[in-house]
A and B are shown apart, each in its own frame.
Chain A
Amino acid sequence: MSAQLKPGQGPLDYARRPWIIALFALVLLFLYAPIASLIVFSFNVDKSGVWHGFTFMNYVKAWNNEQIFYALSNSITIALISTVFSTILGGMTALTLWRFRFPFKTAYEGFVALPIVVPEICMGIALSMFFNYSGLMAAVRDWVWPFNLINIIFAHIAFSFPFVAVVVRSRLVGFNRQLEEASKDLGATEFQTFINVLIPFMMPALVAGGLLAFTLSLDDFVITLFSSGPGSVTFPVKIYGMVKRGVDMQINAASTVLILVTLSATLIAMKLQAPAKSGH
């Protein structure tokens, strides 16, 4: 089999197989073509979806549009906070399920996975009733930003952390517990073992789960709509209210800015993190 490989190509260099590279390129095309069109049309003079000329006006308008500015900053704030908490809660839940035997474990497992199963509208209405009946909705209304978003954050954590738990758990399945025992034999406490052995092992899954949580939070419209009060509108909710009358190109402009901001933030974070990263 390895005879078919080109010189300098190892049998495990799947990343260099032409068909995988071709597939990768195709998928990227599929993923990015709509986004490229979105960016191109953010420079269109009108919102018809047909090219009628170049302008920067959409960016200027979006920047000066208080509504979009608010919605965007709300969305990013909510996504960041809920990602942090979802990752922590999800990681802990995954550890519980992976490490312990306890009564009604299967039922508990199903219970924790429920938010993945429940249709969004159902959870949205349920939370809306809960926040109103419990008085949380009224209480939070006049709190100063970003505390007025707290209901939405609660809701987002509730539907994202199960996703993190599922992802982390599927990685933990392959963990060799002898490593843990070795660490304890060498005198490390439960906590030290957790920090020095388990966390590094879980890291890729925590990152993957965190990214999922961030995506889920940034995208969610239905549950947010029903757990938000006046003035706590997020970007998706704002968009949903606007697109009924055709997508305004200001939204394209704002999305372009959003993707540039997240892209550069991620790249900077990766740069900063790079020296500390150990090889495989």
Chain B
Amino acid sequence: MTLRRLNRRNVLQGGLGVAMGLTFMPYKTMAADEAKLNLYSWDSYFGEDTLGAFKTDTGVDVKIDLYGSNDELFAKLKAGNPGYDVVIPSANWVQRFAKANMIIQLDHAKIPNVKNYDPAFMNPEWDPGRKHSLAFVWGTYGIGYRKSKAKNGKPDSWKFLLDSPDYDGRISIQADQEYALGSALQYLGYSWNSTNKTELGKAKDLLIAAKKHIKLFAKDNGDSLLASGDVDICGEYSGDVLGQMRNDPTNDMDYILPKEGGNMWQDTMAIAKGAPHLANAYKYINWICDAKVNATLMDAIHYPTPNAAAKATMSDDYKTNPIIFPSAEQMKKVEQSIYLGEEATAAREDLWTAIQAA
């Protein structure tokens, strides 16, 4: 770090020289096979020293940029890869990225640590044989709530978010058609991924009716609103609510998967097409899959790991936490989002617009 800061100071001085000197043209710094890696990721997926440890282990310097949603990543890569190597798309998006030819086919031979994965994660329906992606972390989408504000027992159903006055004006749900429509469909007894017009129409009507009790459609910050007391119940990701629970001295928050099932998500590691540092990208992915590295990382970020070798070495505290690893019985009920194709996705987005305009 000091080294790079010094660099920047040198550059400032050098800049003076350039200004006074012969040319104003900037120059290329190094050849393409430099020890660098451009990582484009979500925030909070790193421990305090994860990237530092990678540099110590491999000598590769990581530049990291953050994005806040899959669509941001998609829009950015669609205009052309500006130079990212490793990206972290979510499960159903992997198909979309692969279809759009934005991520490359992985060569598993270059990732020997792939052997550490729990086999359950090696053949998902949205990426058969893991051709394009490897699991990074996973989790569930369910209900976060304040125990002191609970009415009519534990809010163990989507009903409390979508179809009940119990939490009037104190509800947030995810501002994303995938989750809003998905949970509404599930509550109505249909598939999370339904593309049936009648079913979707009913889900839309349910959400429009629910608007009078909902405080806001939260952009992935329902957990912080729950923590600050702005809402009493929210549709959120398990990892986010858990993060808030660990910071709460009053121990008033909890997370529960609805009896209708809930959703299981997964964020994956993939290599962007046109990655300028391909070898280092493989090096990084392989390094993350290392049992020890992975265990240290997961210990810091508290998301469920798909890495069996890493999980085996971790504390019982982590392994038996029902929020991190829900019961096998519950896991049978959760659904995963799949990529529905452009047409069906567009139809669902139209419904989302209609819900907002209603």
Contact = CB atoms under 8 A, between A and B. Distances in A.
A and B touch in the complex (CB under 8 A): yes
A49 B28 contact: no
A200 interface: no
> Contact size class for A?
35 or more
A217 interface: no
Interface string A141-158: 111111100100000000
A142 B15 contact: no
A47 B44 CA distance: 14
B16 interface: no
B2 to A, nearest CB: 10
A146 B220 CA distance: 33
A115 interface: no
A246 B223 contact: yes
A246 B227 contact: yes
Nearest to B81: A132
A9 B72 CA distance: 58
A229 B67 CA distance: 13
A50 B228 contact: yes
B53 interface: no
Contacts of B197: none
B20 interface: no
A143 B29 contact: yes
Contacts of B229: 50
> Contact size class for B?
35 or more
A146 B15 CA distance: 9
A273 interface: no
A73 B82 contact: no
A244 B15 contact: no
A67 B68 contact: no
Nearest to A128: B79
Interface in B44-84: 44, 63-69, 72, 75-76, 79-80, 82-84
A188 interface: no
A243 B223 CA distance: 12
B8 A73 contact: yes
Interface string B238-252: 001001100111000
Contacts of A52: 249
A132 B79 contact: yes
Nearest to A135: B80
A241 interface: yes
Contacts of A144: 11, 14, 26-27, 29
B99 interface: no
Contacts of B248: 48
Interface string A205-241: 0000000000000000000011011110100011011
A69 interface: yes
Contact of B65 (A64, A141, A231): A231
Contacts of A244: 42-43, 68-69, 219-221
B221 A67 contact: no
A229 B274 CA distance: 14
Contacts of B44: 245
A46 interface: yes
B224 A133 contact: no
Contacts of B26: 143-144, 147, 150
B212 to A, nearest CB: 27
B83 A246 contact: no
Contacts of B63: 230-231
A241 B43 contact: yes
A74 to B, nearest CB: 10
B79 A125 contact: yes
B332 interface: no
Most interface-central of B43, B64, B79 (chain A CB within 10 A): B79
A2 to B, nearest CB: 52
A129 interface: yes
B11 A230 contact: no
A242 B66 contact: yes
A238 B66 contact: yes
A141 B82 contact: yes
B151 interface: no
Nearest to A141: B83
A66 B2 CA distance: 9
Given A141-B82, A226-B79, A241-B43, A48 B227 contact: yes
Nearest to B220: A244
A166 interface: no
B79 A245 contact: no
Contact of B224 (A49, A129, A228): A49
B30 interface: yes
Given A49-B228, A244-B221, A143 B65 contact: no
Given A145-B8, A241-B43, A64 B220 contact: no
A213 B173 CA distance: 37
A138 B80 CA distance: 10
Interface string B318-356: 000000000000000000000000000000000000000
Nearest to B84: A230
Given A145-B11, A242-B43, A69 B79 contact: no
Contact of A228 (B82, B228, B240): B82
9 contacts: A128-B76, A141-B82, A147-B26, A226-B79, A230-B83, A242-B43, A242-B66, A244-B42, A245-B224
